[in-house]
Structure 1
Amino acid sequence: MADHRAWDLIVTPWHLDQHLPDFPVPATATQVVPPVLPAEPVPARMNLLHQATADAVARTAKPLVLSGDCPTSRAAVAALQRRHRDLAVLWLDAHGDFNTPEISTSGYLGGMALAMLTGRTAGLFDDPLGLRPVPDTSVVLADARDLDPAEHDALAASRVRRVPADPAAIATALDHLGPVPVYLHLDIDVIDGAELPGARFPSGPGPSLARIEECLAAACATADIAGAYLACAWLPEHVNDHSARQTVARLTAALGANVAWREAAVS
């Protein structure tokens, strides 16, 4: 179902607890200013960043977050849950982001973002956001072609609905969710690695950028998209180059938002 309200652009320029000073900021966007972070463990520092993001998202009618990581999604979802009792999740990603501290081989928190939303990382954060776990049955995971073995098993044991990054498959899965507002999350690494120079975690062959644009358009035409999030997971030295900006512009346009940059791309 098309929603013609204008998107409210929000920028969170960090990766985990690290500020990305070159992260591009659209001219009409609100940039979340990172608070001063104490010398504490990374999750505690992330909590402060996420609290600031949740407050910014809660002040908007239709948030579209541009971020440097996936875990900040917990802030976006927590804020949306303040106004929506039920909220479903459409997650487009080359990875499952379904690791937990117990099964992760690397301990990388960015690989746990969807597990965070579904309540599988108890104890990792003290959760000042008031995030309510999203039921597995309310989650659609698209693509996820690059999974760790234990992560694969965890997804297989879950009730998360997995679909290919295909417009028709995504529309059908969203139809099955019923008339519930949807949080749409996209990590740019879902796109074929050959089209993503400088990606932080390239995952080889996958759907083209054009196919992902079609997926986003299909989602917007099918569901009530209450909020959206683009994880702009390029390496810091590439996040602000021409190719990255062009990709972000195309993806936001597929959602019905127009991005005008504050200044010309640096390269």
Structure 2
Amino acid sequence: MITLVPYHQDERLPDSSFPLPGPDVVPVTRDLPEGGVWERVAALFELVSAEVADQVAGGTRPTVVSGDCLTSEAVLAGLQRAGVDAAVVWFDAHGDIHTVESSTSGYIGGMPLRQILGADTGLLADPLGLRPLPEDRAVLVDARDLDPAEAEFLASSRVRHCPVDDVALPDGPLLLHIDVDVIDKEDLPGLKFPVGGGPSYDAVVASVRRILATGRVAALDVACPWHLPEGDDDAVRARLLRDLLTA
């Protein structure tokens, strides 16, 4: 079963943005309330968190696909609700460790990992009942495009920063989060935030498979911050999602 959250923040995306393998897809959508983006996202994520918790209670490992990395907060909150104390392994070309104060762009998709670690809890963590994760239980994989404030935080934190071919896993169950832009932009067309100089498509898939093979992944969360496909782009994306979700 694949849980599809077809949103980028509070923007509803066409289902065609996600060429998912197989017919067993459960979409999570709702009419979002009036208000600011954080209130709207929190309302959506309450449903996602409940769905994840229900799947864990029913003996299913949740697999969640969405349009951005914020959804990871709902997935982790759902695991915690179900009694799973998961560490986080975070594949991303970016750090996603800004606070509201440190961000120069204001892009909220650059904040979820830092919020998981306990920053700005009133925005999503408190509404979702998300307990902060200790820094030494978070692993940031790749993250080659860091703003100065992010690099400064990492230098003084206990977050592990690893390459894709040498991921140091924390103990216990894992939330495996994959932002597909961790793949070098030459290997994956159409990304909203492409970054060069990164690992190949094959290297990322191989690393993900090694982690899944440990049997410790409690939930798999895949973020697809890409534009609507053009031409052959859709075939590449479909292959990537198949490779990640059926590993």
Q: Please, what is the CA RMSD of the aligned residues? A: 1.7
The equivalent of 2:43 in structure 1 is 48
2:13 to 20, 23, 36: 20
Amino acid at match of 1:242: A
The equivalent of 1:190 in structure 2 is 182
Confirm or deny that 1:241 pairs with 2:215: no
Give the alignment of 1:64-75 within 5 angstroms.
64-75=63-74
Q: 1:246 to 1:73 in 2, by over 3 A?
A: same
Q: Provide the C-alpha distance between the structure 1 equivalents of 2:92 and 2:215, rounded to a whole number of angstroms.
A: 19
CA contact (8 A) 1:182 1:223 kept: no
The equivalent of 2:53 in structure 1 is 58
- Normalized against structure 2, the TM-score is what? 0.91
Determine helix, strand or coil for the equivalent of 2:150.
helix
Give the alignment of 1:1-267 within 5 angstroms.
8-21=1-14, 22-24=16-18, 25-26=20-21, 27-32=23-28, 34-60=29-55, 61-125=60-124, 127-166=126-165, 169-170=166-167, 173-174=168-169, 177-178=170-171, 180-222=172-214, 224-237=216-229, 241-253=234-246, 256=247
Taking every aligned residue pair, what percent have the same amino acid on both sides?
44
Amino acid at match of 1:149: P
Deviations 1:72-110 (A, max 9, x none): 111100000122352111001000100110100101010
Determine helix, strand or coil for the equivalent of 1:194.
coil
* Range 113-122 or range 240-249, more displaced: 240-249
Unaligned runs of 5+ in 2: none
CA contact (8 A) 2:92 2:178 kept: yes
Amino acid at match of 1:184: L
Amino acid at match of 1:55: A
Q: 1:65 to 1:126 in 2, by over 3 A?
A: closer
Tell me the CA shift for residue 235 of structure 1: 1.3
CA contact (8 A) 2:17 2:229 kept: no
Q: 1:125 to 1:227 in 2, by over 3 A?
A: closer
Amino acid at match of 1:40: G
Determine helix, strand or coil for the equivalent of 1:127.
helix
Deviations 1:123-162 (A, max 9, x none): 3337221101111010111100000011110111211011
Q: Provide the C-alpha distance between the structure 1 equivalents of 2:107 and 2:228, rounded to a whole number of angstroms.
A: 17
Q: Provide the C-alpha distance between the structure 2 equivalents of 1:246 and 1:49, rounded to a whole number of angstroms.
A: 28
Determine helix, strand or coil for the equivalent of 1:89.
strand
Q: Provide the C-alpha distance between the structure 2 equivalents of 1:44 and 1:126, rounded to a whole number of angstroms.
A: 12
Tell me the CA shift for residue 195 of structure 1: 1.0
Q: 1:237 to 1:38 in 2, by over 3 A?
A: farther
Amino acid at match of 1:156: A
- Normalized against structure 1, the TM-score is what? 0.85
Structure 1 stretches of 4+ with a deviation exceeding 4 A read none
Determine helix, strand or coil for the equivalent of 1:101.
coil
Aligned residues: 239
Determine helix, strand or coil for the equivalent of 1:193.
coil
CA contact (8 A) 1:13 1:67 kept: yes
Determine helix, strand or coil for the equivalent of 1:99.
coil
Amino acid at match of 1:139: A
Amino acid at match of 1:207: P
